[in-house]
Structures are given as C-alpha cells and as structure tokens.
Amino acid sequence: MNMIARRADVAVATVLNHFPTRLELDGAIVERAQAEMPVPEISVFDEADTLTERVRRLSQQSGLFLERAEPWYRMWLREPMTTGPWAQAGADAGAGWDRLCRVALGPLADDREAMAILRATMEPGFVGSLRSTIGSTVEAADLIAAAIGPWLESKAQAAP
C-alpha cells in the first residue's frame, strides 16, 4: 500500500480509507479492468454462416480486445498479478475466450490442431506484428481468416 500511495502521491491513510485491504484494492482494479476490456459476447457470431467468417470475426474481436488491453497488459508484464481477484478474473476471461474459440470452430471445436492454430493467431505478439505490418486490426483479421479459413473449412469437410 505504501508504494501505491507513493505512486498516487497521496498519504497511505488515504489509500487505506478507500481500500482497507490489498484484496479490496485488487478487487476494485479488476472490476475496472473488466469494464474496460470485457470478453466479447457469443452474439459476435450472429449470422456468420461459415467457419471462415466466424474466424474473421473472432480475430477482429481478439485484436480489438488486445488494443483495449494494451496498457493493462504492459502493467501485468511489469508486475504479474495472479492471486485473489486477478486469478478469478483471469480464469473467467480464459473460459470466455475458450467458449468463443469453440463456437468459432464449430465442428472442429475438439480438434487440437485447429484450436492450436486459432489460439496462436490470437497471441498478442502475433496480432501486434500483423497490425504493425498491415496497419489495422480489421485488415489483420481479414488476413488471418484468408490464411487459415480455407484450411479449417477443408478440415471440417473431411471430418467424420
């Protein structure tokens, strides 16, 4: 709490007045983080008729999420927060993204290769590299869908 008060340029008592425990402070920060970067809803796939279109939409939503999350991600890299409210929020977000990936993949939801490739295209470094080369999240999502969509479509057709 001392470091937080110092960085905020306030007295420790002021921090403790608002947040009597570190757990309460972490809970408030997590609440703000979740408000600023919610996991997209399944409705992003409404009327997406093909696997390729669902992948494009997921890639776009993933990229937009990473844009919103960038300051939080930099903070987390400096000081990983993996306990208490942070652990629960991470687990909830992970479950939300897993659900989105499974819906996007449809008949390939249980295919380890398809899931691994899709998740790799959602990694911050991969998305950031594409964005810096191509210019926008939408264009990066279009490229991802064009690159892996046909492979996924053929894999789905070949599946029993």
- Provide the domain limits for residue 141: 38-158
Based on the domain organization, do 61 and 102 belong to the same domain? yes
Predicted confidence at residue 35, as pLDDT, reads 93
97-113: average pLDDT: 97
- Residues ≥6 apart with Cβ < 8 Å to 64: 137
Question: What is the four-CA torsion angle of 81, 85, 87, 88, rounded to 10 degrees?
Answer: -160
Tally of CA atoms within 13 A in the half-sphere of 94 that contains its CB: 6
Based on the domain organization, do 131 and 57 belong to the same domain? yes
Predicted confidence at residue 2, as pLDDT, reads 84
Predicted confidence at residue 124, as pLDDT, reads 87
Question: What is the four-CA torsion angle of 107, 109, 114, 115, rounded to 10 degrees?
Answer: 170
Based on the domain organization, do 29 and 86 belong to the same domain? no
Length of the chain: 160
Based on the domain organization, do 94 and 129 belong to the same domain? yes
Predicted confidence at residue 72, as pLDDT, reads 84
CA angle 72, 94, 41 (to 5 degrees): 90
Based on the domain organization, do 150 and 100 belong to the same domain? yes
Based on the domain organization, do 63 and 101 belong to the same domain? yes
Predicted confidence at residue 152, as pLDDT, reads 97
What's CA 157's distance to the chain center, in Å?
29
- 77 pLDDT exceeds 90? no
- 147 pLDDT exceeds 90? yes
- Which sign, positive or negative, has the C-alpha torsion 151, 154, 158, 160? positive
Based on the domain organization, do 116 and 59 belong to the same domain? yes
- Give the pair of three-digit tokens for residue 74: 């930099």
Specify the number of domains making up the chain.
2
Predicted confidence at residue 107, as pLDDT, reads 95
